[in-house]
Amino acid sequence: MKVVERIIEIFKIIAQPHDRRYIQLGDSEKVQAITSFLSTLGMKHIVSERHGILVGNPFRAETIIMSHMDTISKFNNIFRGEKKLKEKDYLVVGPLDNTITNAILLYLIEKDPGMFKNTMVVFTIGEEPSFECGFYEQCGAHNLFEDFKSHITHDTRVINLDVTANGYHGMYDSSHGSISVAKEFVADDHTSFLEYMQISSKFMEATLRLAGRDVQLVHYDHGTCDDLMSVPDYFRDKFSFCLPIENCYHSVIHSPNTFTTKRKLSGYTNHLELLIRKGEKDEV
């Protein structure tokens, strides 16, 4: 089965409600769908009320990959499938934020679990503020780095998976027609974007070299990747790997009508796999 088609299959499986109806996190239908998928792969995991779904050992992780679980309620299970965009390019339409990066991550775990032997994967809760999602959740990313701060070293790489939209970075400007991935970086108020790249570690430099013509580097902006804001400043390698999406009718990001293209989805997945495989410190 082709990569994109399998990702879409996984997306359909896990695009379940995650809303105010659950009492314990394990009651969430979306959490149940993701954990059931992990169980079929034989992947050990923990459902944590403070963090989300944890896969892997935080005490020996060289890389932490986060992918937050956004709320899905009234449009759960809606997947509008494909629409022809151009002669050989097709749209993938549905409630993509952020279930699509959940699905991509599960696809890569399914493809090669060994790729994650030194990686902890966290499907975080609480990325959305309560006034947006309609109910309160603890911020899983914040709690993760607070609870494990004595066990996660400053050299641990933190990669946050999310989507970004044209309202944030103009990713669908005609001059950027081939872009499949955006990386978002945090820098403090006294550090410019270029300076931040220059003072980052060798791994970050190696990461930047992976950027091809279909990858755009963009400066982090408040609100585009909220979990990234929970990563403490002392981590040298922390950034978001973002899939650009658009809305069919208006600019709302939480909608069953958001879309990307199969080409962008494939490119994003290939870049992410390369990034994970190249992430071993002894390879840099």
Give per-residue pLDDT as tens, 103-135: 999 999 999 999 998 899 999 998 876 656 666
Give per-residue pLDDT as tens, 15-67: 888 876 778 898 888 999 999 999 999 999 999 999 999 998 877 788 999 99
List the structure tokens of 122: 């966290």
In angstroms, how far apart are the furthest CA atoms of the chain? 53
> How far is Cα 116 from Cα 121, in angstroms, rounded to an integer?
8
| pTM score above 0.95 | no
Give per-residue pLDDT as tens, 174-186: 444 455 666 666 6
Give mean pLDDT, residues 213-218. 63
User: Which residues on adjacent β-strands are paired with residue 119?
Assistant: 63
Q: Is the pLDDT of residue 150 over 60?
A: yes
Architecture of domain 3-283: 3-Layer(aba) Sandwich (3.40)
Residue pair 32/52 in contact (Cβ under 8 Å)? The answer is no
